[in-house]
Amino acid sequence: MRRTSFATTRRLAATGIALLLLAAAGTAAPARAAEPGGPAPLGQVVPAPASVRPGGDPYEITARTAVRVPPGNPEAARIGGYLAGLLRPSTGYRLPVLPGGTDGPGIRLVLDEGEGGSGGEGYRLSVTSRSVTISAREGAGLFHGVQTLRQLLPARAGSTARQPGPWTVAGGVVTDAPRYGYRGAMLDVARHFFTVDQVKRYVDQLALYKYNALHLHLSDDQGWRIAVDAWPRLAAHGGSTQVGGGPGGFYSKDDYREIVRHAASRYVTVVPEIDMPGHTNAALASYARLNCDGVARPLYTGTEVGFSSLCVAKPDTYDFVEDVVGELAALTPGPYLHIGGDEAHSTGPADYAAFMDRVQPVVARHGKTVIGWHQLAGARPAPGALLQYWGYGGTGAAERDRVAAAARAGAGLILSPADRAYLDMKYTKDTPLGLSWAGLVEVRQSYDWDPGGYLAGVPAAAVAGVEAPLWTETISTSAQLEYMAFPRLAGIAELGWSPPATHDWAAYRVRLAAQGPRWDELGITYYRSPQVPWLVT
């Protein structure tokens, strides 16, 4: 008999008395039948794979299944261990990870120069009655293939408690590679602080949907969240509160390294942001000399924007930028450093451009590529810089044109249109959390657009990818974060990964519905949008 997992208990509690009454009357079968127990159809994956060819016999994971990895390859062995570690609790099987014998039966991870297309993130997953073979050119591709395999197993495979089999995977071949090389999610840890463990939990959720970048918004008016040795009061004082008051917090360098390490193990690159020259009250509160008038500002726990600015004319400002960028770049293995640049309403346009002219070369000197919010288009974006577009319906044509012109002049674009990709926008007027300045963003609204054609006049090659930002003025717990992120996070992932030809709301909502039981098993809180035909009600 199936043991009741924690998630199932929650589900039962949520469905309430009605289901209990049905069960008592011995008529619970319809509800159970609606829960997917068997193998998912081969294409029932989010993000939609580039190509799916179902056919042949299914594979069944049994007590005798081994995970086979190439010998002498620690990376593949680690991915094999990760997969086995995910499946051992629910299946109760040993699932040994065996180096060598990748032509033998079982689950096989194969590194193959010929697989996976550009960027090393592609993979091929082939299922026969004898084996499941994931082949890829690089570890990233193997890892993404493992995420696909997870979704092809019954949802209960994600449980941390032992569950009954069978553990069947539909037969056929999936060949897959991403549309865009940048698929990010942003977490604002400045408005409310999130601990290392909370961030790691989110990284694991991003990995499910093949995200490859975690943008951490590390500083804002309400908090400074990263230790800087040369300027210790930034974290010690600037990190000591958050929106609504409360203790705030900050990451020590070891904390940050731990986030980077964990993210890397999930093939996610950390993109740190220090927002400048606006959104800097926490820094201005920590050091009097960063202010033009030499007077430290009080700490701020409200939610207004646009009132703070670094002092563009002061040499101290550039000592600060040099030290902060230098220390952060040294801690960050990824190629990007985000310098913010949004809503600098207290910095004049000439000062803004002058500031960005001085700051962007500092980032380059420390070996990083600049990302800025799209307002950077109003200054002079450095060669190779990426602009993150966060406009919405109310964004004026002139502003859009400026961004498009910058893209034509060589800037890359990350698309985060606020009325589509902002995870902090309310779903409906009744959503208890979030904001609505960019409108209400239901699941379909969030999914139904094309990053490739979104901004008129932008060459397709300028689009580096998509990002789903989560601002946290109203969000302070993981449950709240997840409720705003899920299900929209999955849709933005699909826009970043899947070929445009797979884009289809009617098909997507069905694949999305199949994620619900998986989120239940993982304890992920999500918004049960009425637009999605969830399997269990």
Integer-rounded Cα Rg, in Å, for the chain is 24
Site for ligand TNX in 397-436 (CB under 6 A): 422, 424, 435
Is residue 342 involved in binding ligand TNX (CB under 6 A)?
Answer: yes
In the complex with ligand TNX, the residue whose CB is nearer, 138 or 424, is: 424
Q: How far apart are the C-alpha atoms of 447 and 305, rounded to whole Å?
A: 28
SS3 10: helix
Catalytic residue among 75, 343, 494, 521: 343
Rounded least distance, CB 241 to ligand TNX, Å: 16
Half-sphere exposure of 258 (CA within 13 A, CB side): 13
Question: Residues touching ligand TNX: how many (CB under 6 A)?
Answer: 10
Q: How far apart are the C-alpha atoms of 371 and 108, rounded to whole Å?
A: 38
In the complex with ligand TNX, the residue whose CB is nearer, 414 or 532, is: 414
Note if 258 is an active site residue: no
In the complex with ligand TNX, the residue whose CB is nearer, 371 or 462, is: 371
Q: What is the DSSP string of 105-129?
A: SEEEEEE-TTSS-GGG--EEEEE-S
Rounded least distance, CB 399 to ligand TNX, Å: 13
Rounded least distance, CB 364 to ligand TNX, Å: 22
User: Cα–Cα distances in Å, from 530 out to 31, 431, 480, 535?
Assistant: 18, 13, 19, 12
Q: How far apart are the C-alpha atoms of 98 and 68, rounded to whole Å?
A: 5
Site for ligand TNX in 71-130 (CB under 6 A): none
Site for ligand TNX in 52-71 (CB under 6 A): none
Q: How far apart are the C-alpha atoms of 162 and 115, rounded to whole Å?
A: 35
Cβ atoms within 10 Å of 22's Cβ, excluding its own: 15
Residue type, 154: P
Rounded least distance, CB 305 to ligand TNX, Å: 5
Rounded least distance, CB 468 to ligand TNX, Å: 12
The site map against ligand TNX for 381-400 (x = CB under 6 A) is ---------x----------
Number of H helices, E strands in the chain: 18, 19
H helix or E strand, kind and range, residue 43 = none
By the 10 Å C-beta count (0-12 exposed, 13-18 middle, 19+ buried), 452 is classed as: middle
Q: Are 342 and 390 in contact (CB under 8 A)?
A: yes
Q: How far apart are the C-alpha atoms of 416 and 205, rounded to whole Å?
A: 19
Site for ligand TNX in 252-281 (CB under 6 A): none
Rounded least distance, CB 372 to ligand TNX, Å: 10
Q: How far apart are the C-alpha atoms of 209 and 206, rounded to whole Å?
A: 6
Of the residues 161, 305, 364, 522, which one makes contact with ligand TNX according to CB under 6 A: 305
* Preceding omega of 272 cis (within 30 degrees of 0): no
Site for ligand TNX in 437-476 (CB under 6 A): 471, 473
Rounded least distance, CB 302 to ligand TNX, Å: 12
Active-site residue list: 343
List interacting residues with ligand TNX (CB under 6 A): 305, 342-343, 373, 390, 422, 424, 435, 471, 473
